[in-house]
Structure 1
Amino acid sequence: MLYALSENQKIVDAKQATRGKKYLCPGCKNRVTLRQGQAKVPHFAHQKFQCNVFSEGESKEHLHGKNILMKMAQQQYETVELEAYLSDLKQKPDLLINNKIALEFQCSPITVEKMVARSKGYEKKNLRYFWFLGQRHRLKRKMTQQIAQFLHWHPNLGFYLIYVDVERKKLSINYNIQMADFLDVKFRSYETSSFSGLKFLFNQKKLSNYYSLNIRQQSLQMQRLNIGNFKSTGVFRDMQRLTYENGLIFERMIPFLIQKHFAYPIFQQYHFVWLIKKITKQNANEALFQLPFVNLEKILLMFESENKIEYYNSNSRIKVGFDDTRN
């Protein structure tokens, strides 16, 4: 941990602590040892046992990230507690602000179930909570479930993720995140050194809109769909079987499966898989990521409305439209 209590009950930063002095854990009040060296970040560690309140064995990134978040929070808020133990929940957020806001800095993998359980704990205590991400969850070319589970949606920003860049001591946000079949994820980025800078971005007039696919990207989709249809393996074979069982022919549907615009980053399988399952009245939600912080029912209704997606199954016909007049 980065901070401990001095003998006169003052919070002391490990960087400013003095060797030989007595320091106590802010949680369990037991003796801790100051560890300062060139290889590791200065920190305090328990002497003989594992404390149930504060965590040890943290990564350098996690230690630095908590410190960055704490300094940013102290610029704006009166009371900022590091790893304040919430005994009724048996949880300790990385930061607790004014006993109203919990901040979590997630660097390591975490299951959806565990993340939801933590979040529900904060909700039970009427705390607002925010998840900040480390480099392991950095969005690059493809969306994964480990990243998607942290997605939030905002009317001005669309889908977004917030990161702590410990090297540059900044917050970075990827927003207007969108996906298209067989293509890299697209998004915009913004950086700030304060929570007020983050608030400024969220208050900007609508910054999200759909990215269009160019001719080359649409040609790539057509090529990949035709190759998949020819090879007839994996998900393509499944879709061929599903369409055939419902009086459709997958090959004839390919021109209608080419996207004009990128879509919301909610499809764990391909967008065309979700669309075919929707057309054939299957459980299309199986093709979606688990997104605990997103109202998927509302998002899907909005997506279908904005894209004017219509489908019907009659003599192998399919109708899919896109509203090109959308602002």
Structure 2
Amino acid sequence: MLMAQENGKLILAVGAVRNGKYYCPQCGQLVILKNGKNRRPYFAHLPKAVKLEAESVYHKAGKQRLYNDMLKIKYSVQMEVVMNNKAQRADIYISNKALALEYQCSAISLKSVANRTLEYNNSGIKVWWILGDNYLNRRLTLATLQKFVRYKPECGFYLVFYSVRQSRYLLWSHIEEANGIFIYQVNRYQSLQECWRDWDDIQQIKPKLKLRKQEVSREAHRLQVNVMLKNQQYLELADLCYRCGYILTGAPIICHSISHRFYPIFYEVGLNFDLGCCLS
């Protein structure tokens, strides 16, 4: 890798210094400068063990920021608190609100998130999962939504992040799915309290008609490509449409609203689920 980011700007390896802090432009992970007498300077990703150590540093910094922010608004807050059931330890516990804040930087299974959330709820404690830079810098997936997404009528389906690198909170609100891609609005805050105070007033930006037509067109193309590739799921949908007197590639026109996208509540692409329900 010949270029990396430093303070948000791209820098060439030939102009970098050994002790600088550089990040991969693609994944956002720390990289190091490699240089020698017989090779051209370049950037390389850190070994796995070093990456885990860096994640731990970010995790500690994020928890400390959450703790400090709760202190500023006079909450009764503790860090690394062992819960009454002795089964888990809360990153941040706000006793006067019976609220646990879990700052999640590394990968975690859906089962672990579900079990830990259930244990909190059984103890009469609400839990908020706040995601770190690793989740912020990757493409939003259904797996991440299944684990952490929340819903509030004013801002729809949403996720909350705290970025150590940016030193700010981010709220991804009004998460919707179009053509298998999740689309959302990004709101930035200096404190978690500011985020809580603002989210009742967030207005959803409706997609313009031209954009929705483009999304519907791409959806039709995606269906056609998957049928040509003999994807079994799409072949079954095509067969279902045929038996009902329809053509699969016309499905987006029937199933899509021209003003709204799909909510992220399905285990598959929203159109596939909607079409199956309409024709079954």
Alpha-carbon deviation of 1:257? 4.1
Select 1:166's aligned residue among 157, 164, 167: 164
Measured against aligned partners, the alpha-carbon deviations of 1:24-66 in whole angstroms (never above 9, x if no partner) come to xxxxxxxxxxxxxxx9xxxxxxxxxxxxxxxx97611111110
Alpha-carbon deviation of 1:190? 1.4
Matched, 1:187 2:184: yes
Counterpart residue number, 1:207? 203
Counterpart residue number, 2:114? 116
- Number of residue-to-residue matches in the alignment: 225
Alpha-carbon deviation of 1:209? 5.7
CA distance 1:233–1:262, change in 2 (3 Å): same
Matched, 1:80 2:77: yes
Alpha-carbon deviation of 1:186? 1.9
Sequence identity, in percent?
A: 21
CA distance 1:231–1:264, change in 2 (3 Å): same
CA distance 1:63–1:72, change in 2 (3 Å): same
Counterpart residue number, 2:45? none
Which 10-residue stretch deviates more, 257-266 or 97-106?
257-266
Instruction: Give SS of 2:90's match.
Output: coil
Does the 8 A contact of 1:221 with 1:258 survive in 2? no
Counterpart residue number, 2:149? 151
Normalised by the size of structure 1, how large is the TM-score? Answer: 0.61
CA distance 1:251–1:193, change in 2 (3 Å): closer
> Which residue type is aligned with residue 66 of structure 1?
K
Does the 8 A contact of 2:110 with 2:146 survive in 1? no
Does the 8 A contact of 2:156 with 2:174 survive in 1? yes
Instruction: Give SS of 1:278's match.
Output: helix
Q: Distance in 1 between matches of 2:61 and 2:145?
A: 21
Select 1:138's aligned residue among 136, 155, 177: 136
Q: Distance in 2 between matches of 1:211 and 1:143?
A: 21
> Which residue type is aligned with residue 93 of structure 2?
L
Does the 8 A contact of 1:218 with 1:259 survive in 2? no
Alpha-carbon deviation of 1:259? 4.8
Q: Distance in 1 between matches of 2:249 and 2:106?
A: 45
Greater fraction of residues in helix: 2
Does the 8 A contact of 1:77 with 1:98 survive in 2? no
Measured against aligned partners, the alpha-carbon deviations of 1:142-199 in whole angstroms (never above 9, x if no partner) come to 42313442111111101110001111221111101111115x4321111222232012
Counterpart residue number, 2:272? 273
Does the 8 A contact of 2:141 with 2:182 survive in 1? yes
Q: Distance in 2 between matches of 1:120 and 1:153?
A: 17
Structure having the higher Rg: 1
Instruction: Give SS of 2:81's match.
Output: coil
Does the 8 A contact of 2:155 with 2:200 survive in 1? no
CA distance 1:275–1:78, change in 2 (3 Å): closer
Counterpart residue number, 1:263? 262
> Which residue type is aligned with residue 233 of structure 2?
V
Give the unaligned 5+ runs of structure 1: 1-38, 40-55, 282-327
Does the 8 A contact of 1:73 with 1:80 survive in 2? yes
Greater fraction of residues in strand: 2
